[in-house]
A and B are shown apart, each in its own frame.
Chain A
Amino acid sequence: MNFLKLLLGNRKASIGLVIVLFFVVLSVAAPLFSDYSPTKRVSRPHQSPSAEHIMGTTRMGRDVFAQLAYGGRTSLAVGFGAGALVIVLAIGFGITAGYFGGVVDEVLSSMMNIMLVIPQLPLLMVLAAFIGEASPLVIAIIIGCTSWAWSARVIRAQTMAIREKEFVSAAQVLGEPAWRIILVEILPNLISIIGAAFIGAVIYSIMLEATLEFLGLGDPTAVTWGIMLYNMSNTSAILIGAWWEVIAPCIAIAMVGAGLALMNFAVDEIANPALRSHTGLKRWKLKQAQRKKILEAGKQSLAKQQQVPL
């Protein structure tokens, strides 16, 4: 809860949260914002934005705004779903390896490292092609199952550090079972790292989903931001000049990414106060300025030679 408070107290985090919430509300309550079905022909092809269709229509005469709103449901669900899967796997692998150490750690760490050196996007493409007509759910699962290694490594390192702390040793001496120590003593201390890793995984999953679908490896009848881009490129919307079809999903993806990134930036600052606190540098700058004044007062000519403008 402390963590949440800190997050809300941070300006960047609040802006990010507002952006993300905006898209969540837009997509969850899509029927409130758009009268059109995202999968019905409601107008002629490639109509530019108008009062009736505020973001224009696609080749199939579908309303771009409706697709954006409804598509957000799936795209965000995939992002958060895959992110959650990533983080669950990462916690599982990371804490187990970090806490138990020894052979367990050797094995799990090798798995993480190997996962990290196999190029992921190509592997995902081949997997998606292999499964064929990959639905958003399938995409979420394969992203989740291939992206956990990085976070797992971070969590493992942190777990190892915490394990050495006194309160953990104390619990061990008292004969607490391992699962209890992990849940009660270790996990709470990992919250900020897990939070950052989760947000990162969500960003990454949204990007990957859009990419895979754009490349034609998704289910073309689904409504998602990636499929919007796929249909856009398939119907040569760029050449025809239907800019609204390119811009709308691009902006949505970029905005959500930006919102999450701002939140993550803030989490970083909270977790590592040195990045935030200005005291050290301010004091030095102040001293420097004082020194400058003295120097300027005294040996003005010499000081000028030494000073390089910043």
Chain B
Amino acid sequence: MFNKLSILGTAVLIGLGTLASADSLAAERSELTLVAEQRTAWDRNFNPYLTANKRATTFQFIYEPLVVFNALKGNQAHYRLATAHEFSDDLKTIRFTIRDGVKWSDGEQFSAKDVLYSFEQIKKDPVLDTQALADRIESVSIEGENVVAIKLKNVDTTIANKIVRVPIVPQHIWSQIDSPTTFKNETPVGTGPFTEIDSFTAQLYVQCANPHYYDAENLDIDCLKMPQIATNDQLLAAAIKGELDWTSSFIPDIDRVLISANPSYNYWYPAAGSASFLVNFKSPNPGNREAFNDINFRRAFSMTVDRQAVVDIAGYGYWSTNQYASGLGEQFASWNNPQVDAEFGQYNRYDLEGAKQLLSDAGYKDTDGDGFLNTPSGAEISFKVIVPNGWSDFVSTAQIGVEGLQELGVDASVSTPEFVTLTENMKSADFDAAFTNYFGGATPYRYFQTGFHSSMADKDRFGAHHYADPELDSLIDSFTKTADSAEQVKIMQDIQYRIGANQTTIPTMSTVYLYQFNDKRFSGWFSEANPQAVPVVWPDQPERLLHVLALKPR
């Protein structure tokens, strides 16, 4: 009875609303134009489980997350569908308290059962398990009315970041779907702010506000408008005309190319994950292996990298130099261990003469007269730095690095295999040196774990220096076993020291989060002066939900 009444009420309200605004509908509706993905045509697909071809406005905008962790604010929790979360004392269970009074966009009541269902869903089929969580979760259950308890197989205090990326879907819809891996979900039902697909063509779609949004009082935008844009050049053309509000694409020389042409645009490029050269300690070539295992050679390598030139030329001045001996990077500056820089910083600054000195002191000279240095034992050093084909800014970076090595008298060159080949070679230690980027995140944990834990050496390209240090491994592991933040900082600082002292990596630069905004139609943008959260509009950035709620039409 109550339900019927409320539907009736809604209908009347909508009717009144239509009457009131019928004359000024189009003009009054505030539409935020954004480019959250670049493709050649839109395909009407809002299935949150598909990795490749769901529309980029599916996460957060249709499927509200439990919590948004703000990486820029030390992982501060912004509670959305959950109102609290906590670890049990043994750190093996994480409990989310589910918010009351939330409705799905079709008017059905949202409850902890939907959350439970969503976590059961990922166990059904590995394809649905986009966060690779199924193996780490022991069980999921509802405790009391509205607490969802997730029991973990192993202690991992960083797992909440992954758990909140699991899409929370309505059980009453998805339980009817036979094949969730091919379902296109053309008319989605969610709890997020923009659930109604107002119009959809291959070139443009408009996604409007959820009539039942629980946090409607903080939402001031009526609709999101997504024009299809395939290339950076097209995007730039549209931006110059002032057609876009929120983008995260690469624009070369932005001050000259965009800002001078359209001053209502602005940009903010906060530091993101770092990128470094790395050498393979298990190189198949004996001479190279001898050099790579010598700390003097690694230090000299690091001293020949002209980081400022990398940033200015390959990075258009958008990146920042990374001279942290552990490769920590600007974005994690708050975790920095100053002692590392005091002791080893000198090896991570551009200093060609110092590098030459270091190598000649260590016994490197051209013994076979081919014009290039040999190892102290007289073996030949000759290697290629590999970098994925098509990643042109990285190819330029590697070329600048190699120029420095050649100045030093080292026979080095750049090679650009296909990404898949490169990854395979790096995992199997079948290469000499490489240039790669690393994960960012709320804490440096993911960077260190994927980049330096010996168990990761053959899992992906990040840890491919193939250098094993059991003490470092246990330091990294200990980070996930504690929830005490002072202790976590201490662990991170010890990790930095161990990596810096060994010069395991050759830190080069920190990449940036690309973000441009148009100040003309909306206010409240995150910016350098208003650094609320990572401002990127791409779908893998949950903070964009906070951003969209902060915007106000002018």
Looking at the complex, which one of B256, B309, B389 makes contact with A132 (CB distance below 8 Å)? B389
**Chain A residues, Cβ within 8 Å of B166:** none
Residue B416 contacts which of A39, A219, A240 (CB distance < 8 angstroms)?
Answer: A219
Residues 388-430 of B, flagged 1 when their CB comes within 8 A of A and 0 if not, give 0110100110011001000000000111111001000000000
Pair A60/B232 contact, Cβ less than 8 Å: no
Closest to A46 in B: B253
A133, B415: Cβ atoms closer than 8 Å? yes
> With A and B bound together, what is the CA distance between A219 and B390 in angstroms?
10
CB within 8 Å: A-B pair count? 56
User: Which residue on chain B has the smallest CB distance to residue A40?
Assistant: B403
List residues of B (410-463) whose CB comes within 8 Å of A's CBs: 413-418, 421
1/0 per position for A229-246, CB-CB distance to B under 8 A?
001001110111000000
In the bound assembly, the distance between CA atoms of A60 and B418 in angstroms comes to 22
Bound CA span A238–B252, Å = 11
Chain A min CB distance to B450 (Å): 26
A45 to B418, CA, bound (A): 27
Q: Is B313 an interface residue (CB 8 A)?
A: yes
A221 near B: Cβ within 8 Å? Answer: yes
| Residues in chain A near residue B125, CB distance under 8 A | none
Quick one: which of A133, A231, A234 contacts B418, CB cutoff 8 A?
A: A133
Q: A133–B257 Cα gap in the complex (Å)?
A: 32
- Interface residues in A219-276 by Cβ distance below 8 A to B read 219-221, 231, 234-236, 238-240
Contacting residues, chain B, for A231 (C-beta < 8 A): 392
Q: In the complex the two chains form, is A132's CB within 8 Å of B417's CB?
A: yes
Find chain B residues with CB under 8 A from A238 CB: 233
| SS class, residues of chain B in contact with chain A | helix
Q: In the complex the two chains form, is B392's CB within 8 Å of A235's CB?
A: yes
Q: Are A236 and B232 in contact (CB under 8 A)?
A: yes
A163 within 8 A of B: no
Contacts of B98 in A (CB 8 A): none
Given contacts A133-B417, A236-B233, A239-B236, contact A220 B256 (CB under 8 A): no
Interface string of B372-398 (1 = CB under 8 A from A): 000000000000000001101001100
Q: Are B396 and A216 in contact (CB under 8 A)?
A: no
8 Å CB interface, B183-241 against A: 232-233, 236
- Which residues from A are CB-within-8-Å of B416? 133, 219-221
Could you tell me if B257 and A221 are in contact, using CB atoms closer than 8 angstroms? no
**Within the complex, which residue of A39, A219, A234, A240 is in contact with B392, where a contact is CB–CB below 8 Å?**
A234
Cβ 8 A contact of A221, one of B252, B312, B313, B413: B413
- Within A100-158, the residues touching B (CB, 8 Å) are 129, 132-133
Contact present for A60 and B253 (CB under 8 Å): no
Contact B256 A240, beta carbon cutoff 8 Å: yes
B309 near A220 with CB under 8 A, answer no
- Residues on A with beta carbons closer than 8 Å to the beta carbon of B417: 132-133
A73→B113 CA distance, assembly (Å): 70
Q: Which residues of B contact A53 (CB under 8 A)?
A: none
Number of residues from A at the complex interface, CB < 8 A: 21
* Alpha-carbon distance A61/B400, docked complex (angstroms): 11
Q: How far is the CA of A40 from the CA of B400 in the complex (A)?
A: 9
Q: Which residues of B contact A60 (CB under 8 A)?
A: 313, 396, 399-400
Chain B nearest Cβ from A47, distance in angstroms: 12
Q: Flag whether A41 is at the interface (Cβ < 8 A).
A: yes
Chain B: CB-nearest residue to A239: B257
Tell me whether A221 and B392 are in contact in the complex, defined as CB-CB below 8 angstroms, given that A132-B421, A236-B233 are known contacts.
no
| Residues B112-160 near A (CB distance < 8 A) | none
Query: Residues 12-52 of chain A: 1 if any B CB is under 8 Å from the residue's CB, otherwise 0?
Result: 00000000000000000000000000011100010000000
B418 neighbours in A (Cβ, 8 Å): 129, 132-133
Residues of chain B lying within 8 A (CB to CB) of residue A221 = 395, 399, 413-416
CB neighbours of B232 from chain A (8 A)? 236
**Within the complex, what minimum Cβ distance (angstroms) separates A63 from chain B?**
14
Complex Cα–Cα for A129 and B389 (A): 11
Chain B residues with CB under 8 Å of A61's CB are 313
Which residue in B253, B309, B396, B403 is a CB contact (below 8 Å) of A240? B253
Q: How far is the CA of A40 from the CA of B413 in the complex (A)?
A: 12
User: Which single member of A45, A59, A216, A239 contacts B389 (CB below 8 Å)?
Assistant: A216
| A133: B residues at CB distance < 8 A | 389, 415-418
Give A45 to B421 CA distance when docked, in angstroms: 31
Give bound CA distance, A220 to B252, whole Å: 19
- In contact, A235 and B390 (Cβ under 8 angstroms): no
Q: In the complex, what residue of chain B is closest to A131 when comparing beta carbons?
A: B418
Contact A59 B421 (CB under 8 A): no
CB within 8 Å for A239 and B313 given contacts A40-B403, A133-B417: no
Enumerate chain A residues within 8 angstroms of B236, measured Cβ to Cβ.
239
Separation of A70 and B309 alpha carbons in the complex (Å)? 24
Assembled-state Cα–Cα distance A219/B413 (Å): 12
Complex-state Cα separation, A41 to B257, whole angstroms? 24
User: Roughly how many angstroms separate A216 CA and B419 CA in the complex, as a whole number?
Assistant: 13
Binding site for A on B (CB under 8 A): 232-233, 236, 252-253, 256-257, 309, 312-313, 389-390, 392, 395-396, 399-400, 403, 413-418, 421
Not counting A129-B418, A236-B252, A239-B236, a sample of 6 additional A-B residue pairs whose C-beta atoms are within 8 angstroms of each other reads: A132-B418, A133-B417, A220-B416, A221-B413, A235-B392, A236-B233
Q: List 21 A-B contacts (CB under 8 A).
A: A40-B403, A41-B309, A60-B313, A60-B399, A132-B418, A132-B421, A133-B415, A133-B417, A216-B390, A219-B416, A220-B389, A221-B395, A221-B415, A221-B416, A235-B392, A236-B252, A239-B233, A239-B236, A240-B252, A240-B253, A240-B256
